[in-house]
């Protein structure tokens, strides 16, 4: 398949992806307004459609490895593009995210995000943001599920190094729950920016559970080592050439 044709199919996919967000949002709005489960159902339906249309239009397959948790747990994930958000959420029954505050103003996405229990964080105010995040998480424990945080705080392109943020350790210590690390290679095929969606297999991998009880520094060292090692292996599997 030529580059031009793959680019065109990628563009068609992106356009219909946003049209689908509008359609699903409108169809599920009454149910979501009445019950939180309605918002969760809407988000799962949207994720399923995007993953299906991605494969049909662009030839990109998606694969979930490991065992997605179904009990209340902290999920600490690698973040490379919008695709890992969809894949992780679609793999768990009651997911909700620590998300940047700006997303709450996005049409449809922002309202449904808040409705499923996502917790907005102002990334520009680090100390105050962590304090507020911990308070919001504490109040949100009334709605048990899988709390998903991106430990580097933003999308990080393949091959780029970025520090892991202290907020993940703060939640791990506060919640006293299992933490499930998640590695990914999705950025190799669905980049942080741009139109092109490449053929291949995008993977998110749920790694072995980190049980509660570690000190904050020991937890962060283990989390970063395991996620980065597994993500590097997945990216190499997808054909990514690391800088030398």
**Which tens digit of pLDDT belongs to each residue from 149-197?**
999 999 999 999 999 998 899 999 988 899 999 999 999 999 988 999 9
Please determine, for residue 129, whether its predicted confidence score (pLDDT) is greater than 60. Answer: no
Task: Classify residue 150 by burial, with Cβ atoms within 10 Å: 0-12, 13-18, 19+.
Answer: buried
Which of the 8 DSSP states describes residue 99?
E
**Bridge partners, residue 205, by sequence:** 65, 183
pLDDT tens for residues 43-100? 999 999 999 999 999 999 999 999 999 999 999 999 999 999 999 999 999 999 988 8
Please determine, for residue 103, whether its predicted confidence score (pLDDT) is greater than 60. Answer: yes
H helix runs in 35-80, sequence order:
36-58
Please determine, for residue 32, whether its predicted confidence score (pLDDT) is greater than 60. Answer: yes
- pLDDT of res. 99: 86
Q: Could you tell me the domains of the chain?
A: 61-237 (3.40.1130.10)
Per-residue exposure over 87-100, b if at least 16 CB sit within 10 Å of its own CB, e if not: bbbbbbebbbbbbb
pLDDT tens for residues 43-57? 999 999 999 999 999
Nearest to 65 by CA among 239, 196, 238, 212: 238
Single pTM value for the model = 0.93
DSSP H/E element including 203: strand 200-206
How are the residues of the chain apportioned to helix, strand and coil, as percentages rounded to the nearest 5? 50, 15, 30
């Amino acid at each position: 398949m030529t580059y031009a044709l793959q680019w065109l199919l990628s563009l068609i996919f992106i356009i219909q992806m946003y049209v689908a967000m509008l359609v699903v949002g409108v169809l599920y709005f009454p149910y979501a307004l009445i019950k939180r489960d309605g918002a969760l159902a809407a988000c799962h339906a949207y994720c399923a459609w995007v993953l299906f249309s991605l494969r049909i239009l662009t030839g990109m397959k998606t694969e979930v490895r490991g065992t997605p948790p179904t009990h209340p747990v902290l999920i600490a994930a690698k973040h490379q593009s919008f695709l890992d958000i969809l894949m992780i959420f679609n793999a768990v029954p009651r997911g909700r995210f620590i998300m940047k505050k700006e997303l709450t103003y996005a049409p449809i996405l922002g309202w449904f995000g808040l409705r499923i229990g996502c917790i907005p964080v102002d990334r520009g105010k680090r100390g105050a943001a962590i304090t507020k995040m911990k308070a919001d998480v504490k109040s949100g424990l009334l709605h048990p599920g899988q709390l998903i945080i991106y430990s580097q705080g933003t999308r990080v392109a393949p091959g780029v190094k970025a520090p892991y943020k202290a907020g993940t350790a703060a939640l791990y210590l506060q919640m006293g729950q299992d933490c499930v690390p998640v590695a990914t290679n999705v950025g190799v095929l669905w980049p942080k920016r741009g139109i092109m969606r490449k053929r291949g297999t995008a993977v998110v991998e749920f790694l072995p559970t980190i049980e509660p009880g570690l000190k904050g520094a020991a937890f962060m060292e283990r989390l970063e080592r395991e996620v980065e090692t597994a993500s590097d292996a997945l990216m190499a599997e997808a054909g990514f050439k690391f800088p030398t």
